[in-house]
Amino acid sequence: MRIFIPLLLGGYLAAAAAEPQRFEAAEPHMGTLFRIVLYADDPSSAQEAARAALDRIAELDSALSDYKPDSELNRVCGRAWREPVRVSDDLWRVLDASQRLAEESSGAFDVTLGPVTRLWRQARRDRHPPDPWALAEARALTGYRKLTLDPGFQSVSLQQRGMLLDLGGIAKGYAADEALRVLRERGFPRALVAASGDIAIGDAPPGKAGWTIGLEPAPGQGFARVVTLVNAAVSTSGDAEQHLTVSGKRYSHIINPRTGVGLTEPIAVSVIAKRGLEADGLATAVSVLGVRRGMRLVESRGARAIAVVGKRVLESDPPPGK
Ligand code: AMP
Ligand code: MG
Q: How confident is the model at residue 238 (pLDDT cuts 50, 70, 90)?
A: confident
Which ligand is nearest to the Cα of residue 261, counting in written order? 1
Q: How confident is the model at residue 1 (pLDDT cuts 50, 70, 90)?
A: very low
Q: How confident is the model at residue 217 (pLDDT cuts 50, 70, 90)?
A: low
Asked if residues 163 and 141 have their Cβ atoms less than 8 Å apart, the reply is yes
Higher pLDDT, 4 or 239: 239
Q: What was the pLDDT predicted at 322?
A: 62
Q: What was the pLDDT predicted at 321?
A: 67
pLDDT tops 70 at residue 12: no
In this prediction, residues 281-289 reach a mean pLDDT of 97
Ligand 2 centre to CA of 13 (Å) is 45
Tell me the β-bridge partners of 25.
Answer: 36
Q: How confident is the model at residue 222 (pLDDT cuts 50, 70, 90)?
A: confident
Prediction pTM value: 0.93
- Distance from C-alpha of 261 to C-alpha of 117, rounded to nearest angstrom: 9
Is the CB–ligand 1 distance for residue 289 below 6 Å? no
Range with the lowest mean pLDDT among 13-27, 36-50, 57-71, 240-254?
13-27
Range with the lowest mean pLDDT among 164-168, 183-187, 263-267?
263-267
Percent of the chain with pLDDT over 90: 81
Q: How confident is the model at residue 319 (pLDDT cuts 50, 70, 90)?
A: confident
Is the CB–ligand 1 distance for residue 236 below 6 Å? no
- Of the residues 68, 104, 135, 166, which should be mutated to test ligand 1's pocket, given the most ligand atoms within 8 Å of the CB? 166
Which one, of 274, 113, 91, 136, lies nearest residue 200 by Cα? 274
Query: Strand runs (DSSP E) across the chain, as ranges?
Result: 21-29, 32-40, 85-86, 147-150, 155-158, 191-195, 198-201, 211-215, 225-229, 232-237, 243-246, 249-252, 255-256, 261-262, 268-273, 304-309, 312-315
Q: How confident is the model at residue 2 (pLDDT cuts 50, 70, 90)?
A: very low
Q: How confident is the model at residue 15 (pLDDT cuts 50, 70, 90)?
A: very low
Q: How confident is the model at residue 114 (pLDDT cuts 50, 70, 90)?
A: very high
Which ligand is nearest to the Cα of residue 166, counting in written order? 1
Ligand 1 centre to CA of 229 (Å) is 25
Range with the lowest mean pLDDT among 66-80, 217-231, 288-302?
217-231
In this prediction, residues 310-315 reach a mean pLDDT of 87
Is the CB–ligand 1 distance for residue 112 below 6 Å? no
Ligand 2 centre to CA of 63 (Å) is 18
Q: What was the pLDDT predicted at 10?
A: 31
Ligand 1 centre to CA of 99 (Å) is 14
Ligand 1 centre to CA of 4 (Å) is 61
pLDDT tops 50 at residue 117: yes
Asked if residues 146 and 163 have their Cβ atoms less than 8 Å apart, the reply is yes
In this prediction, residues 30-52 reach a mean pLDDT of 96
Is the CB–ligand 1 distance for residue 253 below 6 Å? yes
DSSP state of 144: G
Is the CB–ligand 1 distance for residue 168 below 6 Å? yes
Is the CB–ligand 1 distance for residue 284 below 6 Å? yes
pLDDT tops 80 at residue 160: yes
Is the CB–ligand 1 distance for residue 107 below 6 Å? no
Tell me the β-bridge partners of 161.
Answer: none
Angle among Cα 309, 102, 91 to the nearest 5 degrees reads: 115
- Provide the residues around ligand 2 (an ion) whose CB is within 5 A: 169, 280, 283-284
Ligand 1 centre to CA of 322 (Å) is 30
Which residue's alpha carbon is at the smallest distance from atom 23 of ligand 1?
169
Which residue's alpha carbon is at the smallest distance from atom 15 of ligand 1?
254
Atom of ligand 1 nearest to the CA of 256: 19
Amino acid, single-letter form, for residue 283: A
What are the residues whose beta carbons fall under 8 Å from the beta carbon of 124, sequence distance 6 or more? 242, 243, 244, 253
Average pLDDT for the chain: 91
